[in-house]
Amino acid sequence: MMTKEQYIESLRKMNLKVYLMGELVDNPVDHPMILPSMNSVAMTYELAEKPEYRELMTATSNLTGKTINRFCHLHQSTDDLVKKVKMQRLLGQKTAACFQRCVGMDAFNAIYSTTYEIDKKHGTEYHKRFTDYLKFVQENDLTVDGAMTDPKGDRGLSPSKQADADLYLRIVKVLPEGIVVRGAKAHQTGAVNSHEHLIMPTIAMKEEDADYAVAFAVPSDADGVVMIYGRQSCDTRKMEPGADIDLGNARFGGHEALVIFNDVFVPNERIFMCREYDFAGMMVERFAGYHRQSYGGCKVGVGDVLIGASALAADYNGAAKASHIKDKLIEMTHLNETLYACGIACSAEGESMPAGNYIVNLLLANVCKQNITRMPYEIARLAEDIAGGLMVTMPSEQDFRSSEVGPYIEKYLVGVAGVSTENRMRILRLIENITLGTAAVGYRTESMHGAGSPQAQRVMIARQGDIEGKKLLAKEIARINEGQNG
């Protein structure tokens, strides 16, 4: 396994093509807007080195028998699935941000089981290819961007019916030694901090969409791969000289990118689906299940930090003893632990796949994510309520440091005795960061759209909910005999 320092150095050695604010970035590793998100990924390596976290952060590979980072692991039991959620909560607590390796881990498990079943039906060799690829990932402890979401264009049209054929990533040429692909993947979490991009189709497909049924892996610096860094609220604060207090979470963050594939060549050994359109839906459904489980861990960990920050804000405001403040903190805790319970439940109810790895209970995973489209918003609302309006009207750090007006801020923004004005400002900026600022991409807004929109989960809940089976239960209890009276 890599250390934190080795991970950072490995990114320096890559020739990534990243655009940010209209300019090509010379060195993404040290760019002040990107650095906090890289620190979050680095934490997944750092904690794996600590003895007290090793049980959660590492696992024994079923492919090599070696100890590996859990983010590179194929789940071998429900215990593995539970540990995954606990690991994600821990990292959320340590970073208060998105740590970005979950998508790759979820893609590994979905592609592993799906390629096994493609081979069984079509006589292909995708499963062996993917197994060899995953051994490579495990041996080198790589961070992998699991990439599913296409730009989609007109949502009312299928991939092959779009006015621009590239609005879904597609195969444009098949060669004896591989394929050439063109298109883009949008909203890609941690793309700039990843060694590899692992691509999957984004929807179930029909025969006319076969060119879009493709899964493969390429290095992040492969020829033709271009990444455009996504904007976040308050992101340019990181560019301000000496910025500290105003950042809220100065050390950690997350990011998303639009990843372009301009006629990228993929060798045969890195192709895991090539026009097997009948399995696109299976891969999507399985990945979505794993990734919706993930949110029952990572968002809960960030929620823990937000609840703690809200309680501190109440302390600093002198309002901690108010009954309504206590009740709001109880409600935030109740909502947060409900999300965690869903993540643990879908993990404990998991089952073995034909390929041998374990999958979550898909119904409960979708219930987990459906709750996450709602409850973090209420947790954030309550946090903003407790923090007070100063959270969004507070003067800048530059004003606070000013010799002319700083003393006024020190005097008039003080809270309870014994707590400095600076510390009060720091906790309010942290709440702002998680609920409104750069960390919101890894908490509030991502809770809505990450791993699929709310409606996507409702479709799966309808599919998995077994309404007909529940009707039979009711008929039996009510002693209904449909042969009588029609």
Residues designated as active site: 98, 102, 189, 256, 291, 295, 298, 446
The amino acid present at 188, given as its one-letter code, is Q
Number of helical H runs and strand E runs in the chain: 17, 14
Distance of CA 66 to the CA centre of its chain: 26
- DSSP class of residue 209 equals G
Distance CA 374, CA 349 (A): 23
CB 197 within 8 Å of CB 145: yes
Give 74's DSSP letter: P
User: What is residue 326's three-state secondary structure?
Assistant: helix
Distances, alpha carbon 73 to alpha carbons 6, 19, 83, in Å: 20, 32, 11
- Provide the strand spans (E) within 165-205: 170-175, 178-189, 196-199
303: burial class by Cβ within 10 Å (0-12, 13-18, 19+)? buried
What is the H or E stretch that residue 226 is in? strand 225-229
Cβ atoms of 205 and 276 closer than 8 Å: no
